[in-house]
Structure 1
Amino acid sequence: MKSNHLLLLALKTVSEHVGAGRNTSRFLTSELGLLRSVQGIADVIHFIPMEGQPYRLTEGRVVYFRAGVLRLRVNLREMEFKTGDLLIVSPGTVFEFLYVSPDLDLSMLAFSNSLMENWQKEELLQTYLQGRLCLHLSLTAQEVQRMEQLFALLWEVVHDQPFPKASVQSLISLFFHQVDFVRKSGQLAEKQKRTRQEEVFNRFLELVNKYAVRERSIAFYADRLYLTPRYLSTLLRQASGRTVMDWVNEAVVQEAKLRLCHTDKLVYQIADELNFPNASFFCKYFRRMTGMTPNDFRQENG
């Protein structure tokens, strides 16, 4: 069997390609990954196609952008990150590279849920571990300085011998406490700026990412949002310029691409898993959405 590359960006799988351990910019075990700069993954990037296919993260990521620009599609939403930004996404997040500037530099933390077992988890960390966090913050100069200090301290501590698990757990918890403080500081102003359409749109995207594989009716999402189908359709058009079914179809196609790129399952098996009546129907649907047959897409991105 071809290995399941849905786990391609898992810590375990990365360590299988490049070996566990450390270099001047990277510390890597099966439970914890820490980057001081993008140079720490220079030997990883070559086996990760950067365009044309989505990935699902086995562990979440905490990314502090130190320079350059990165554009990603994160759980269907296009997002741009620049110097001084912070991104935190939970395990299970699906993303796709859209643009990477040549001068990109970042610090990054990844850790398995098991690393934080038997540790008291504050609210934001609990949300992260439960797979429900996608947070993008633009930091002030003071917050940037604090982020640099936290990453530097964590870098020092992970190199202690024997590995200081309790200290690492404590620092990760402190990190999330600090991020939660920053988040809440700007939450009131952000809430005041947010429109009704944006609130519905954000909640709708959460539902689509969770349910689109098996639920494709407008009525289902309208019911979950306590709206009529017509009102939901109107709000989404106003907020995004797209229809309910546009977003549902994009989520289904994204899941199909994941399985075509990163598993060796046959097309009819994927069609069945995605709740299509048969392989022929799935192939016609996929071609209508992407301009390619499932097999052509797999060959081009395999």
Structure 2
Amino acid sequence: MNPQTIRSMNEEDRLQRLEQALSAKHLICSSEGTITAFPPILRRPYRIYGLCLMLCRRGSFDFRLNGREGSAHEGETLFAPENATIEVTNCSPQLAVHVFAFHVEPIRDIMGNLALSMYPYTELSAETCHVWHTGEEDELLQYIALLDDTLKHGQELFNSFEQKLLLIGLTYRLCSIYSRKLVNRSSNLSHKNETFIHLVDLIEQHYRKERGVEFYADKLCLSPKYLSNLSKAISGYTVQELVFKAIVREAIMQLKNTQKTVLEISEELNFPNPSYFGTFFRKQTGMSPLQMRRNEGK
């Protein structure tokens, strides 16, 4: 059997695995390398239950993303938003593309406000599509290659933890790429997004003590109403909701990764007493702090 036939069989296997993973909505769905065609599931409207990257390494492909037509060419990456509907409509004969999709939920509680709010996929602008040449495609592929390797190890003891850490690293890299793109714009939208970045940075510094919009508005020399409207328009969350998300994220991290008591955690997060903290936590997460701790392996 010649090497070309072996490569073709390998790609056929990988296409089949990708089709099955997308159909089953696996945590990670990857082409595990470049492919020269898309699986059938992506050639018809498909709703992505996570985030999806399509890195075009050679040739080009056309697509329909949430009803909008677009195309990606050699050296460009398509960033498909969470819960978007995508359909690949045409491919060039010399296509080589790397497809990678992953769910956000398993890492959402671990990620900071900046990543949650500055997602490349939160529709921060009215762009007609999400395609551009980042200049960092090779670095993204390094993350993806490491994640692809974890797919070979199944349910091994530490494999799921490694996957989460790698997914967090990849997501932060994507957020970094996207925030640079936004800040470098010369439009009024760029100024608003730059203000928003400063806001979430302030929240990361002060959320343990400062929970009112007035504090953050004063720091940014803005009116509370204007800042609240800006935050809601950009991220879909009010300033207070972003603060609460930061508190909950820190509380979950402490509950799952330390032996601190609920009293100690509530004091560290400046709640007047454990009961008040427990009421707040249940309202935000649907479970008590102790229930969250008991669910640490899930």
TM-score (norm 2): 0.44
The higher-RCO structure (CA 8 Å, 6+ apart) is 1
